[in-house]
Chains A and B, each alone.
Chain A
Amino acid sequence: MSRVRIPPVLRESVGGAREIEAAGDTVSALLDDLFGRYPALAERVTDDGELSHFINVYVNDRDVRYREGLSTPVAADDTVILLPAMAGGAR
């Protein structure tokens, strides 16, 4: 099981927990496990069943966009964080 840190903005969707555990050897598998157990979290961070473009996923503090995306491997002692992006702009 890997450790998943839940930032304040998402805690309401996991019953207030700061950390939870999840199983999966890739980010994608781990998210499947997480979303199966926390449907409110899935609703908060997915669009049409896919992880929202506006959600950053980190493995050991590194954004998986700069690694292998949802295929990024996750080891049992890794820490995963989901964090909504802060983005926008004039146009």
Chain B
Amino acid sequence: MVSAGDGANRIGLTMTSAVAEELMRHARRELPNEACALLSGSLAQGSATSVHPARNAEASPLRYNVDPEDLIRITYAIEDAGEDLVAIFHSHTHTPAVPSATDRRAAQYPDVFYVLATLADPSLPAASALRAWRIHGGQSFEVPLAVE
């Protein structure tokens, strides 16, 4: 497993355009609220290959909390499939795809990527609306995101 640290902060995330489009569809479908999902694949390769949409228990335009029942179900489904949790996704409905103070404070998964989408500009293509980050120690570090 990739551990959090200066080196890990430089490792980027790769996803297919199909995965990126699925994330954006999920984000738009959940409007006016923030959307959330888990991404699985290979953490060692920094590759997200599957999207697992989750309910936002907050049902809020400003907050997300992956529904606890969805969280446990998806976490073990990913492990049972022999995959890794690679990234945690959520949308910002009116602000940039940059972790907020709330995002940084609440982040509990230092070893995975955080993928954010902005819906502030509906004309943005998925590859531009999505950004990838590491969050640990209350700080966020942007990492390269390749949509292939």
B1 → chain A closest CB, angstroms: 8
Contacts of B99 in A (CB 8 A): 88
Cβ–Cβ contact B65 & A85, under 8 A = yes
Interface residues of A (CB under 8 A from B): 7-9, 54-56, 58, 61, 63, 65, 81, 83-91
Q: Does any Cβ of A come within 8 Å of B19's Cβ? A: no
Query: Assuming the A-B contacts A8-B79, A61-B72, are A91 and B66 also in contact, with contact meaning beta carbons closer than 8 angstroms in the complex?
Result: no
Cβ–Cβ contact A9 & B108, under 8 A = yes
Q: Which residue of B lies closest to A57 (CB)?
A: B68
A48 → chain B closest CB, angstroms: 15
Specify which of A85, A90, A91 is in contact with B71 (CB 8 Å cutoff).
Answer: A85
Q: Which residue of A lies closest to B70 (CB)?
A: A86
Hey, what's the 0/1 contact readout for B59-79 against A, CB within 8 Å counting as 1?
011111110110110011001
Q: Which residue of A lies closest to B96 (CB)?
A: A90
Contacts of B84 in A (CB 8 A): 8
Query: Assuming the A-B contacts A8-B85, A56-B68, A58-B72, are A86 and B38 also in contact, with contact meaning beta carbons closer than 8 angstroms in the complex?
Result: yes
Query: Assuming the A-B contacts A8-B85, A9-B85, A54-B108, are A91 and B68 also in contact, with contact meaning beta carbons closer than 8 angstroms in the complex?
Result: no
A41 → chain B closest CB, angstroms: 14
